[in-house]
Amino acid sequence: MESYLASLFLFLCLGRALTAPELLNEEVKRTIDLSTHLAKVTAELSLVNSAGSSGAASSFLLALDPGLESHLAYLGVQVKGEEEEENTLEVKETKVKSKSGRIFTVKLPSSLAPGAKIRLSVETVFTHVLQPYPTHITQSEKQFVIFEGNHYFYSPYPTKTQTTRVKLASRNVESYTKLGNPSRSEDMIEYGPFKDIPPYSEDTLKVHYENNSPFLTITSMTRVIEVSHWGNIAVEETIDLKHTGAVLKGPFSRYDYQRQPDSGISSVKSFKTILPAAAQDVYYRDEIGNISTSHLLVLDDSVEMEIRPRFPLFGGWKTHYIIGYNLPSYEYLFNLGDQYALKMRFVDHVFDEQVTDSLTVKIILPEGAKNIHVDSPYEISRAPDELHYTYLDTFGRPVIVAHKSNLVEQHIQDIVVHYNFNKVLMLQEPLLVVGAFYILFFTVILYVRLDFSITKDPAAEARMKVACITEQVLTLVNKRLGLYRHFDESVNKYKQSRDISTLNSGKKSLETEHKALTSEIASLQSKLKAEGSDLCDKVSEIQKLDSQVKELVLKSSVEAERLVVGKLKKDTYIENEKLHSNKRQELITKIDNILDAL
């Protein structure tokens, strides 16, 4: 039974080998762009399914040079000549038996029949492959680098013919390999054509040349995107930047740097960051504070910001800064009912030919967002979601945390975050504010009206009681003085009408109410005396002065009665009335002074 299964397995393997398509690289044109601090390798190839092949090919294998595979940042395959929206092919990493290294499977747009061919463009970007040599230079020296690669197109398939062009950053070349008697013109070296190259062929290509382009590397970057459904998206990027070129040897002279144009030719004075066209409220700062050497230029389709660090960056030097801005949410946030989609760039432009060693993106969604799903154009590493608390939050805002390393400009693409959000939750913050003010006012009312003291203060209670009694005395005395003014009106009416009943009624009312008020004041005077207050004597003095006022008021009424019945002459009445009025006013003034002193 075991021998039968082994025979069957061998038969299947042989059958598969017999039916596997036989692919051939008919023509390959490689271009290695070394004009910046990146190595950009573009290969234009004609892939042919041999006429004698037994089947159509739906995909093909793509291999990387063993010496460069660990530095790969981007790999893209396109069908040459097709529309840009349709030409990008699906690439997945795979494994091949008995062959190490990184190998990818590229799915063709349609099956390649035997004898048919397709023209493809393979673009790869490698980082940190240009090594400074010498590794240390002075401020006045130029920077030279070494690149090591492969003369041949490294492929699992045989190549019929191939050429390789190397584009350099300058015409100053120290040395380069001479395989196949290459031709050189200005900043270009051309190898080939090479004929009938076997699969997985290797031959070291080495170039030592001058390259003073900015060797800037973002060693660490944290990009925080905070989404608000009230119409704003806040973006903040914290960036650690390093010059990864040849390390500066010796001292730095600011005088020579400003006086000589070629001093520090490989250093970086400034660079441009491109922000979205809708960016506003832009800020650029570090630990010290705002950096005022930056410049902002608003264009039709973008906002250009010139970033100028506090000092020029030489090899090995680092800087750290924070840049932030606000965006209107209607340009990036879309919804259908309670379903929302946020479409923003995973990484944005920091400088030309950028390299990011480590990137962390945090997307802070509104509180209450759920059913979160992220669509990314390339593979990213999702960390566990976090919670972010800010003002008026109760159970926290969900935070999507994603990481990716070794990014270049080709990674500036949009990601889409889908989530559900109940719009009723937008009332949460206003209601929290209303509730907070309600609780504050209610607390103030309770604090003012209730006594929270632990022990009683007899002296304070006595003062409060005396103040309360004094207030009652003031009210009663003023009310009693008002009785006299009301009685004066009754006397005047009597003098006009000569109706004695009017005078008697007013006098009776005065006596009755005056007696009651005087009694109440006397009772309050007794309470003040019981409390031991010295105000008791002042109240007693008021009582004495009031009795004198009453006596004058009654005396004036008697003389008015005598005037009406003819027992007193008018001149005498007027003179006496004037005298009584003056005395009465003096007494009332004394009473008012005492009341003011209470």
More confident residue, 170 or 86: 170
Q: Are the beta carbons of 557 and 491 closer than 8 angstroms?
A: yes
Share of the chain above pLDDT 90, in %: 55
Query: Taking residues 29-43, what's their average pLDDT?
Result: 96
Confidence of residue 83 (pLDDT cuts 50, 70, 90): low
Quick check: 360 and 403 in contact, CB under 8 A?
Answer: yes
**pLDDT for 475-518, tens place per residue?**
888 888 888 888 888 888 888 888 888 888 888 888 888 888 88
Q: Order across the sheet with 295-298: list the strands.
A: 271-275, 303-307, 295-298
CA distance 350 to 241: 11
Distance of CA 443 to the CA centre of its chain: 34
Roughly what angle, to the nearest 10 degrees, separates helices 458-497 and 500-530? 170
Query: What integer pLDDT is reported at residue 20 of this predicted model?
Result: 55
Q: What pLDDT digit, counting tens, does each position of 192-250 carry?
A: 899 999 999 999 999 999 999 999 999 999 999 999 999 999 999 999 999 999 999 98
Say which residue, 470 or 17, is predicted with more confidence: 470
- Over residues 340-350, the pLDDT tens digits come to 999 999 999 99
User: Mean pLDDT for the chain?
Assistant: 88
Task: Give the length of the chain.
Answer: 598
Does residue 106 surpass a pLDDT of 50? yes
- Neighbouring CB atoms inside 10 A of 89's CB total 19
pLDDT tens track for 401-441: 999 999 999 999 999 999 999 988 888 888 889 999 999 99
Per-residue pLDDT, 16:
39
Tell me the two tokens of residue 26. 């008919």
**pLDDT digits 0-9 by tens, 521-579:** 888 888 888 877 777 888 888 888 888 888 888 888 888 888 887 888 888 888 888 88
Can you tell me the mean pLDDT for 164-184? 93
Round to whole Å and give the CA distance between 204 and 193: 16
- Spatial strand order in the sheet of 173-176: 131-132, 144-150, 204-210, 173-176
Would the pLDDT of 1 be above 50?
A: no
